Structure 1
Amino acid sequence: MSQTTTTTAPAVRHTATAIAEALGQHPPTDEQRAMVEAPLQPLLVVAGAGSGKTETMAGRVVYLVANGLVAPEQVLGLTFTRKAAAELAQRVRQRLRRLHAVGLVTPATDRQGPLSAGPDPAASAGGLDVDRPHIATYNSFAGGIARDHALRVGADPDARLITEAAAWQLVDDLVQGWVEDLPTDRSPGTVTNAVLALAGALNEHLLAPDDARELLEDLCRDLVERQPEGNKKDPYAEVAKAARSVQERIALMDLVAAYAARKRDRGLMDFGDQVALAARIATDVPAVGAQLRDQYRVVLLDEYQDTSVAQLRLLSALFGGGHPVTAVGDPNQAIYGWRGASAASLATFPETFRRGNGAPAMTLALSTSWRNDRAILDAANTVAAPLRTARTDGPAVTVPVLRARPGAGPGEVLGGYLLGQADEAAQVAAFLAARWTPSSAETAAVLCRKRSQFPDVVQALRAAGLPARVLGLGGLLASPEVVDLRATLQAAHDAGRGDALMRLLTNLRLGAADLHALQDWARELARTAAAEPRTTTRGAWTRARSPAWSRRWTGHPRPVGRAGVGTPCPLPAPRGPAAWAARCARSAP
């Protein structure tokens, strides 16, 4: 465990309230002031939704710089997205410029003496030469450590970072050329996605494929051998389903190991590899942590409830032992559980990041919501009440009830019981149309439970004359025209994509009888192919439910049958849907 040298901090000259008044801002609440003026020790802040955590984090940086406790470049801030990092960085830089302009900067001191002689004249004049804190994402910070110190643990410092698309192509090539049997009835594309997900999960949990295989085998054994209650002899359906899912993951571990080996052979690395390597460096090379602690005297960790096992290992190894780390988060807003994050990381922070004297870190809370009025907060607290009392096993953190800001209005919460999704979309559009005009500067957001609801909502909004756009690529990719285009490309590239082919066929207005004729024709081709001499193929797949599975309908050898061997399947190219259906009907037995 690292050790932090205790130093005598300079006397505080400016309070958080005085700084806010000098910068023309609202004075902080008692909770915000406690966080901003907290001593340079490990600190956990449980911040409810809309409680101004970004504003308060920026205020803490400004307070520390104004009182000479740290220099701006000695502050490290980490968050999850580039957008959040840019927002926090912009707020901090603007405040620091104004701080220099009003002359509230106290020279920072370190163990040897002053770090700066005084305010920078250029900065005092409002220029851009103010020293900037280092604010980045967790992944980019881990990537920098991996690049700079990889040689210390025998890793390749010049490994090239690949995108998600490149990683998918790499795994897909492995899957297509795999020569071992895979006891799964999944399509190659689904197997590729599963391998990528497993590889990422292992990196996030710092597990090797062999270790994960052993854990999964123990879990599967427990599921299979567990005796059902009563006189029932076979396992329950849900238990059997879970056991099959675990067995599929065990079968994919060889592909996961092959994927990792191929990345090493080609000098490649993905984002999960970067974080895992950085955690290994931080744990095995204490000098790296000493260097970073000396470089960054204060560390701010945003959205701490979403940190994974690897990220937690990295941060605790680098900045443990009493270093001034401030973690901000809300367990009720944890969204990355699927990749190893756990809201319990907030509850374990005081023990993981103990103070220099060995005592657990201090915990504060931000409970004043600045976004909503009273009625909305009452509804939100009612909905979130089970989350505050649901956890009974293991450590837990107390989440405060959200309180209204000073001067908050009464607010209004509307609800309705409608017949279907189309009625809901129409009601939302009518609600917004009654409150929005083209000259209004206000905007509104519609939140949906799932992406499939986007088209109906967008159509209803536009029908009501409201301009609307869907954030992210999900809305574009879900539009019918783009879905048809993707289905065409997928079927042209890989005729094994039956889902894409079925979409194209249904868009050609083929009926159920036509599709049955196509099915009969496919079966005839399979029987003919089975009677001919078989050729080996580059991929061997065990098809548990599709004995006549063929990955392409062009004249190339592909797997057919349970043994995973293939024969050419020559399918004459039809001239339009009518000719195709007629050919299938004539060939049907």
Structure 2
Amino acid sequence: MILSPPPAPAASAATGYRLLRTPPEPVRPPVLDADQRAVVEHRDGPLLVLAGPGTGKTTTLVESVLARVRAGTAPDRVLVLTFGRRAAVDLRDRMAARGLAGLHASTFHSFCYALIREEQSPEDFAEPVRLLSGPEQDLLVRELLAGQPALEREGLGRVRWPADLRAALTTRGFADEVRAVLARTRELGLGPDALAAFAARIGRPDWTAAAAFLDEYLEVTELGGMVDYAELVHRAVLLARRPEVHERLQRRYDAVYVDEFQDTDPAQLRLLRALAGQGRTLVAFGDPDQSVYAFRGADVNGILGFPEYFPRRDGGPAPVRVLRASRRARAGLLAATRQIAARMPLPRLPAAAVRAHRAPTALAPGGTVAVRTYPTPGAEVESVADTLRRAHLEDGLPWHDMAVLTRSTAALAPLRRALTSAGVPIDLPPSTCLLYTSPSPRDRQKSRMP
């Protein structure tokens, strides 16, 4: 029998070009240090890994999962959770590059949504739960607040806001405060009755009204088949605590890995205790010095109390490992950041682990830190653009080795104009590009002109 080679891809009749598949580049296994290998070799029980920026925590997580799968665990029996959507996508890409197909890596909210859908009855499954976005929840809260004065005048309203707050019911700031109270209440696992009892005990009539508003809000969202992010995790925790669901989840997963553990809130911590408590295998990676999402409900006590929250099967506290080699920051920058971090206490963690975490080793020498102040925001962005341009033209530093960090996206527009005017190429992530901006009053007036 004669084997002929497969035919070449046919060229397009219109263009004359043909598409060729680009072979994937081979991925070389990373070289792990002793601290990373100790984490990779962990097989049973809880483990907390303290890892600062650039210490290779995500690489260690991927290699730990790979080692577990190669030791005989099926990929679908390992659950990997992380905080943000982009981090979950990056984790899946890196695991796929290492040959980990079929692994479940997702955000907490994605996992909770899948769990709720899985446990719905056949009648309810036909109508999927709709997850409210932040702007949608804000609009719903503001509409409910705006309608309460009229309901109260007719004697139909259940919410009795204090007199000094009624004038603020229609303001955006008050709606944001109410949203925060609703989210924190559900993250703590409280319902309207528990919040009302707590408000009565400490004498807070505003919280008593918030408890009644929470009851009304939950009723409206339930009737509309809607759920917000805090309520999503709360419902998943209640499901995971049911004996039959709890047993199924424990049979389904042999190990749970968590990235960016310092960003978890109390509800997510309760979910993990339901999934991987009782001494089961839970490997959490995080850095308490990077806990910056308290405004979203993140609680640094989750990582500080990990050894007690997730004890071993014998009842002892969970062990703590530290990744001490910093591959990203040079020695000068690392020393400056450690001086700042040393002022923040880390109670409840083993003292030896805290000392090791606060004294990482920089693998690259050099590096400087400069603090500059400017009289105006315009002078600041012009100086940033000039510094980058000089670094490229005079020092030969490639553009892709430079980065600019801003405190918020509001600073991106003037910074982008200054960099473009100076001839500095920019590369913005899609998430920071606004698709729509509100027109100014002058633009509105022009649009009304004939």
TM bin (shorter chain) = 0.7 to 0.9
Structure 2: how far apart are the matches of 1:305 and 1:343?
6
Alignment length, in residue pairs?
404
Could you list the per-position Cα deviations for residues 269-304 of structure 1 after superposition, in whole angstroms to 9, with x for gaps in the alignment? 222222111111122x12222222222111101111
Q: For 1:457, what is the secondary structure of its paired residue? A: helix
CA contact (8 A) 2:145 2:169 kept: no
Structure 1 partner of 2:388: 432
2:327 to 355, 364, 370: 370
Structure 2 partner of 1:294: 251
1:427 is matched by which residue type in structure 2? S
Is the counterpart of residue 280 in structure 1 residue 284 in structure 2? no
Is the counterpart of residue 32 in structure 1 residue 36 in structure 2? yes
Structure 2 partner of 1:137: 107
Structure 1: how far apart are the matches of 2:31 and 2:430?
36
1:258 to 201, 216, 221: 216
The runs of 5 or more residues in structure 2 that have no matched partner are 1-25, 153-159
Q: For 1:465, what is the secondary structure of its paired residue? A: coil
CA contact (8 A) 2:35 2:322 kept: yes
Structure 1 partner of 2:365: 409
Could you list the per-position Cα deviations for residues 102-151 of structure 1 after superposition, in whole angstroms to 9, with x for gaps in the alignment? xxxxxxxxxxxxxxxxxxxxxxxxxxxxx421111111111122222245
Could you list the per-position Cα deviations for residues 210-264 of structure 1 after superposition, in whole angstroms to 9, with x for gaps in the alignment? 3223324444x4xxxxxxxxxxxxxxxxxxxxxxxx6545434332221111112
CA positional deviation for 1:306 = 1.5
Structure 1: how far apart are the matches of 2:337 and 2:227?
42
The runs of 5 or more residues in structure 1 that have no matched partner are 1-21, 98-130, 222-245, 486-503, 509-574, 577-589
Structure 1 residues 449-458 or 141-150, which shifts more? 449-458
Structure 1 partner of 2:316: 359
1:62 is matched by which residue type in structure 2? L
CA contact (8 A) 1:147 1:157 kept: no
Could you list the per-position Cα deviations for residues 326-367 of structure 1 after superposition, in whole angstroms to 9, with x for gaps in the alignment? 011111111222243211111221222222222221110112
Structure 1 partner of 2:57: 53
Structure 2 partner of 1:523: none
Is the counterpart of residue 87 in structure 1 residue 90 in structure 2? yes
1:444 to 372, 388, 402: 402
Shift of the 30–203 alpha-carbon distance from structure 1 to 2, 3 Å rule, reads: same
CA positional deviation for 1:55 = 0.3
Structure 1: how far apart are the matches of 2:224 and 2:413?
42
1:282 is matched by which residue type in structure 2? A
Alignment of structure 1 residues 63-462 onto 2, 5 Å? 63-68=67-72, 70-96=73-99, 131-150=101-120, 158=127, 160-164=129-133, 165-178=135-148, 179-180=151-152, 182=161, 183=163, 184=165, 185-186=167-168, 188-190=170-172, 191-219=174-202, 221=203, 248-283=206-241, 285-387=242-344, 389=345, 398-399=353-354, 400-406=357-363, 408-436=364-392, 440=398, 442-462=400-420
Structure 1 partner of 2:439: 484
Quick one: higher RCO (CA 8 Å, sep 6+), 1 or 2? 2
Structure 1: how far apart are the matches of 2:432 and 2:38?
41
Structure 2: how far apart are the matches of 1:469 and 1:214?
52
* TM-score normalised by L of structure 1: 0.62
Q: For 1:176, what is the secondary structure of its paired residue? A: helix
Structure 2: how far apart are the matches of 1:42 and 1:92?
22
Could you list the per-position Cα deviations for residues 141-187 of structure 1 after superposition, in whole angstroms to 9, with x for gaps in the alignment? 111222222459x9988452233243333333322322226432326
Structure 2: how far apart are the matches of 1:273 and 1:176?
22
1:434 is matched by which residue type in structure 2? R
Structure 1: how far apart are the matches of 2:312 and 2:124?
33
Q: For 1:49, what is the secondary structure of its paired residue? A: coil
Shift of the 472–337 alpha-carbon distance from structure 1 to 2, 3 Å rule, reads: farther
Q: For 1:476, what is the secondary structure of its paired residue? A: coil
CA contact (8 A) 2:132 2:226 kept: no
CA positional deviation for 1:379 = 1.0
Structure 2: how far apart are the matches of 1:73 and 1:213?
43
CA positional deviation for 1:59 = 0.8
Structure 2 partner of 1:466: 424
Structure 1: how far apart are the matches of 2:402 and 2:200?
50
Bigger-Rg structure (1/2): 1
Q: For 1:136, what is the secondary structure of its paired residue? A: strand
User: What CA RMSD, in Å, does the superposition of the two structures yield over aligned residues?
Assistant: 3.2
